[in-house]
Amino acid sequence: MEDPFKDKITPPPSATSNYTKKRLNNGLHVLNPGVYCGGLELKPQAIPDMLPGVYVIKDGRLNVQAQAHLIGQDVVFYFTGTNTGINVRGGGEMTLRGRKEGNSYEGFLFIQDETSNPGGQQVDIQGGGSVKMEGILYTPTWQVAIGGNGEVNQTAEFWVMVADNFHMEGNGTLYIRSNAQGIGLPNLMPRIKNGPVILK
C-alpha cells in the first residue's frame, strides 16, 4: 500500500525549550513541549502530565518503565535523529490523545521523521498496564511490535497505525476503533477503494 503521508510531514519549527537526557523519578511531574535531546525516560511510579503541544524526541527514546504513567491530551511526539524510538514496558501505562483539529500535526500522536534510524528500528509496546492511545501512529520505516499479556487500547475510540511492518505476540489484545470525530480528532486516512486487503 502507498504511504498516505509521504512528503506531507514537515519537521517542527525550532522549539524554545530544550531538555537533555530527561529522566523522571517517582512522583507527579508536569512536562512542557520542546526538544528532548537524548530521549525521555519515565522511571517506575513516575506520573508526568503533558501540557498540549509538540514534543520532539531527538537522538534518544521515549521509555516508559513498568508502573510509570504518561498522561497527555492534544499532544504529539516527533522522533528524529539516531537511536530514537518508543519503548513501553509491561506494566507501564499511557493515556494519550493526539492533536486537535486546527493545530500542527492535527490527528497525529506519534510521528517518525523518515530520515531517522532508516530501517530496523522498533516501536515496542508491552501490555500489562493500562495503555490508551488515541490518534495516528506514523512510523514509515519502523516496525511496530505489540506484545505481553495485557489489553492495549481497550477504551480508545480512535487508533491508526502506518508503519513499515507490524508484529504482535503473546496473549494480549489490541483494540482498533475509528471514531475520530467522537473525540474531536480528524480522520485523515484515505478510504480503500476496493475494500480491505491483507498483504503477505
- Residue that the C-alpha cell 503473546 belongs to: 170
How far is it, in rounded angstroms, from Cα 97 to Cα 35?
A: 19
Q: Does 196 fall in a domain? A: no
Split into its structural domains, the chain has a count of: 1
Q: Would you state the pLDDT for residue 127?
A: 80
Q: Does 90 fall in a domain? A: yes
Cα 142 to its chain centre, rounded Å, is: 12
Q: Does 195 fall in a domain? A: no
Which residues are CB-contacts of 44 (< 8 A; sequence separation ≥ 6)? 26, 65, 66, 67, 68
Give the residue ranges of the chain where pLDDT is below 70: 14-17, 118-120, 195-200
Q: Does 61 fall in a domain? A: yes
Q: Would you state the pLDDT for residue 191?
A: 76
Domain that holds residue 174: 18-180
Q: Does 94 fall in a domain? A: yes
**Tens-digit pLDDT profile for residues 113-161:** 988 876 667 889 888 888 999 999 999 999 999 888 878 899 999 999 9
Tell me which residue of 179, 153, 185, 162 sits closest to 73, measured CA to CA. 185
Q: Would you state the pLDDT for residue 25?
A: 95
In angstroms, what CA-CA distances link 88 with 7, 144, 181?
28, 12, 27
Q: Is 178 helix (H, G, I), strand (E, B) or coil?
A: strand
Q: Does 191 fall in a domain? A: no
Other Cβ atoms within 10 Å of 150 Cβ, number: 21
Q: Does 109 fall in a domain? A: yes
Among residues of the chain, what percentage have pLDDT more than 70?
94
Q: Does 142 fall in a domain? A: yes
Q: Would you state the pLDDT for residue 65?
A: 94
Tell me which residue of 180, 170, 126, 134 sits closest to 154, measured CA to CA. 134
